Amino acid sequence: MFARWLPAAINTRPSEWSRAAIGMSLGTMFSVWLCSQVFGMQVAQHLIGPLGASAVLLFAVSSGALAQPWSILGGYLSAGVVSLLVAHVLGRTLGSACLAAGMALILMCWLRCLHPPAGALALLLVLADPATIALDWKALGPVMLSGSTMLLSALAYNNLTRIRYPKRPAEPAPMMPAPDSQAITAADLKLALADMEAFYDVTPEDLEQLIHASELHAKRRSIGDVFSKG
């Protein structure tokens, strides 16, 4: 049981950690600075928590489904609208903030824009600072400005550092099925993920590509074993 608590191995090199860290720092700084120029530093600093969390996704795990452009834009917009609506109806209390976060999660799932930092954003907008409260519905302005700036920063930095972003749909690779079996496809993996009834930050196409790559490595290893024994 305790072995499950141990961290899994990270399949990236330290150079990739440094690349992501620099991008996160620059993207967050630029987003907060631009937001402060338009709406004031107090409002901009109030949003820095969700922005930092978004930066981790957009720069460190940009291939994940939770880090794609629609995820951050749709997630921020969903959280902003829901939290401001809840604040107007139920007031700005801890209970209403938690309710807003839960409702934002449901809306993001329905709109297929699940983005974890948007949950923190929903809490912050209900339990906001005086400057943000004074903006009322105009608080959507700094939210979408900072989120869009972070997205543009990730688009520029990731592609300049040779990391494709946003992620393109994986093209299905051809696979020769064994005589007594059939090839696994993205459609099969999609059904399997649906059977598991849980959130996974991976697409069926990614899993299909991983299976094809694993089979290729296994085939090469098998051929190498044959030649070594010969």
Which pLDDT band holds residue 6 (cuts at 50, 70, 90)? confident
For 101-146, the pLDDT digits (tens) are 999 999 999 999 999 999 999 999 999 999 999 999 999 999 999 9
Q: Say yes or no: 97 and 203 in one domain.
A: no
As a whole number of angstroms, the distance between CA 187 and CA 193 comes to 10
Q: In this structure, is residue 2 part of a structural domain?
A: no
Q: In this structure, is residue 59 part of a structural domain?
A: yes
Helix or strand run (H / E) with residue 87 = helix 69-90
Q: Say yes or no: 197 and 140 in one domain.
A: no
Q: In this structure, is residue 176 part of a structural domain?
A: no
Report helix, strand or coil for 5. helix
The boundaries of the domain holding residue 213 are 186-229
The total number of structural domains in the chain stands at 2
Q: Say yes or no: 155 and 215 in one domain.
A: no
Last residue of a domain, one of 160, 177, 211: 160
Q: In this structure, is residue 8 part of a structural domain?
A: no
For 135-167, the pLDDT digits (tens) are 999 999 999 999 999 999 999 999 999 999 997
Question: Which residue from 203, 181, 182 is spatially nearest to 192, judged by alpha carbons?
Answer: 203
Q: In this structure, is residue 65 part of a structural domain?
A: yes
Would you say residue 220 has pLDDT above 70?
no
Q: In this structure, is residue 147 part of a structural domain?
A: yes
What's the whole-number average pLDDT of the chain?
Answer: 85
Q: In this structure, is residue 152 part of a structural domain?
A: yes
| End-to-end Cα spacing for the chain | 44
Q: In this structure, is residue 5 part of a structural domain?
A: no
Report helix, strand or coil for 186. helix
